[in-house]
Amino acid sequence: MKNYDVVVIGAGPGGYPAAIRCAQLGLATACIDKWLDPEGGPVPGGTCLNAGCIPSKALLDTSHQYSFIKHEAQEHGIHSAGVTLDVHRMMTRKNRIVKTLTQGIGGLFRKYNVEWLPGEARMLSDRLIEVSPVGKEAGETYPVTTRHVIIATGSVPAAISVAQVDNRLIVDSSGALAFTDIPPRLGILGAGVIGLELGSVWGRLGSKVVILEALDRFLEPVDRKVAESAFRLLGAQGLDIRLGCRVTGTGSNNREVTVNYENQQEKQQLTVDKLIVAAGRKPNTKGLGAVDIGIEISEHGFIHVDEHCRTNLTNIYAVGDVVRGPMLAHKATAEGIMAAERIAGHKSSVNYSAIPGVVYTWPEIAWVGRTSQQLEAEAIDFRSGEFPFAASGRARASGSSDGLVRIFTDTKTDRILGVHILGPHASELIAEAVTAMEFDGCGEDLAKIIHAHPTLSEALHEAALAAGGHSLHI
């Protein structure tokens, strides 16, 4: 029987870096995953690489470039006639990117000596795991033993009874990343990150998009002023986002979907060619045997862990989407590394107050730390500084000057409490704010750092100057 120091279950962004780190630290490590590629072959990478972060960004990039050529290139004096989109080619490109990256993980496993065990894992005890090979590799189940386990089994789309996915007209996010045609009328249930990104992809390519969102507020984790600006800009791009609209039922024939929803108790109806259900995701412990061996699970299905991702069974850790906290790839990775290092005897931890979030619309929305409304609710005395990209030379030069930066600092200590950005490349700009917060930075630190000119990062600099009361360019 194979015997390891650590077995990692799941090879998504929580599991595969954890396995690599364990092996780097000298632990005999195996990583088990059951994901199958479209040809039925086992593949690492999890949701993030196969059906999440990467394929969605590939399509967002293609659709952004298409939209630029169609609508903005003329402003630069670039004329192009007869621009068309080849959906098949766009999808082939996306699939190739996914394949290159997942193969890369296979290469890393070989390089660092992680044993890759494709198959479905079921825990028979805290030290004994049964592996059932799947897909093209299907065969006899076999047991492996281990001293430690890291569970990184991720999440799956939350199914809702009022809109059941049929993978034909009603699809989840995976289906929406593989459409073969551009649906003329596209409905999306849920205006969360995934709904907005998929709406942007297909809206830019020509779909008439309506997004139905049960909540009255748009993008709860984002500062209200930033979220409201984003709402207006996305609306101006043609995304018809209807807040306070709860979907109550759907019906479909062979060609179209009828969506029933309620807005302030008034019954409404929408007919679309496709409906994407983006109503959130739920933790995945199906078939894992976690409950049977005594692992505590919360009422919402998350594996219960302490701040170091340790479960109630002391040799078992759980990380990523399957535990509490934001469902984000980088949060999963940070937790996976922490778990690996703790198993190896290090005192690692994760700073949960400095995890950035991003929505890859255009402009992008990125944030870290608290919003002004959270700070008000907590009665924290804070200063805010703001800078619009309209006043940024670089943003103007690139023709993308919508949006703003907001920074919040503690009035007494000047510590940075939150940074919220709506603007071009906000996903990259937020890294500076995260770094500053990790180093316990102050508004004055950001204000004193020299930022290259002309860059978008000057907007963050100017917002910090504004928080200190000495703006230069507004």
Rounded to the nearest whole angstrom, what is the least distance from the CB of residue 421 to ligand FAD in the complex? Answer: 16
Q: Which amino acid is at 345?
A: G
Residue 383 contacts ligand FAD per CB under 6 A: no
Task: Round to whole Å and give the CA distance between 148 and 154.
Answer: 18
Type of residue numbered 339:
A
- Mark residue 110 as left, alpha or beta (left: phi above 0; alpha: psi -120 to 50; beta: remaining): alpha
- Tell me if 97 sits within 8 A of 9, measured CB to CB: no
Rg from Cα positions in the chain: 24
191/288 with CB nearer ligand FAD: 288
Choice between 101 and 160, CB closer to ligand AMP? 160
**Cα–Cα distance between 210 and 188 in angstroms, integer?**
6
Could you say which residues in the range 331-350 bind ligand FAD, by CB under 6 A? 332
List 88, 346, 453, 470, catalytic entry: 453
As measured in angstroms, the least distance from the Cβ of 190 to ligand AMP is 3
Applying CB under 6 A, the span of 74-82, 171-179, 264-272, 274-282 interacting with ligand AMP comes to 274-282
Q: Is 436 exposed, middle or buried (0-12, 13-18, 19+ CB in 10 A)?
A: buried
Least distance (Å) from ligand AMP to the CB of residue 400?
Answer: 25
b/e per residue 207-225 (b: at least 16 CB within 10 A): bbbbbbbbeeebbebbbbb
* By the rule CB under 6 A, 42 interacts with ligand FAD: no
Between 194 and 429, whose beta carbon lies closer to ligand FAD?
Answer: 194
CB of 368 to ligand AMP, least distance (A): 17
Segment near ligand AMP (CB under 6 A); pick from 277-285, 336-344, 402-410, 419-427: 277-285
213 binds, among ligand FAD, ligand AMP, none (CB under 5 to 8 A by kind): ligand AMP
Residue nearer to ligand FAD on the CB measure, 194 or 247: 194
Query: What does the DSSP 8-state code read for residue 6?
Result: E
Q: x/- string (CB under 6 A) for ligand AMP, residues 197-216?
A: ---------------xxxx-
**Helix 458-467 and helix 426-438, axial crossing angle in degrees, nearest 10:** 50
AA letter at 174:
S
Tell me: cis bond preceding 13? Omega within 30 of 0 counts: no
Please tell me whether residue 459 binds ligand AMP under the rule CB under 6 A: no
Nearest Cα neighbor of 107 from 3, 5, 14, 16 is 16
154 binds ligand AMP (CB under 6 A): no
Q: Does 13 bind ligand FAD (CB under 6 A)?
A: yes
Q: Which of 30-38, 221-229, 244-252, 456-464 is the region at the interface with ligand FAD (rule: CB under 6 A)?
A: 30-38
Residues with Cβ within 8 Å of 351's Cβ and at least 6 positions away in sequence, in order, are: 438
Q: Which stretch binds ligand FAD (CB under 6 A): 42-50, 213-221, 249-257, 306-314?
A: 42-50
CA–CA separation, 406 and 1 (whole Å): 57
453 catalytically annotated: yes
Give alpha helix (H) positions in 35-83.
Answer: 46-51, 53-67
For residues 417 and 436, give the distance between their C-alpha atoms in angstroms, rounded to a whole number: 10
The least CB distance from residue 330 to ligand FAD, in Å, is 5
Question: Least distance (Å) from ligand FAD to the CB of residue 332?
Answer: 4
**Structure letter (DSSP) for residue 321:** G
Partner from ligand AMP, ligand FAD, none contacting 221, C-beta within 5 to 8 A by type: none
Query: At closest approach, how far in Å is the CB of 332 from ligand AMP?
Result: 16
List the structure tokens of 330: 């980088």
Sole window of 275-283, 301-309, 336-344, 404-412 interacting with ligand AMP (rule: CB under 6 A): 275-283
Size of residue set near ligand FAD by CB under 6 A: 37
DSSP H helices in 120-192 = 173-176
Residues annotated as part of the active site:
453
> Which residues form the interface with ligand AMP (CB under 6 A)?
160, 162, 189-194, 212-215, 246-247, 278-280
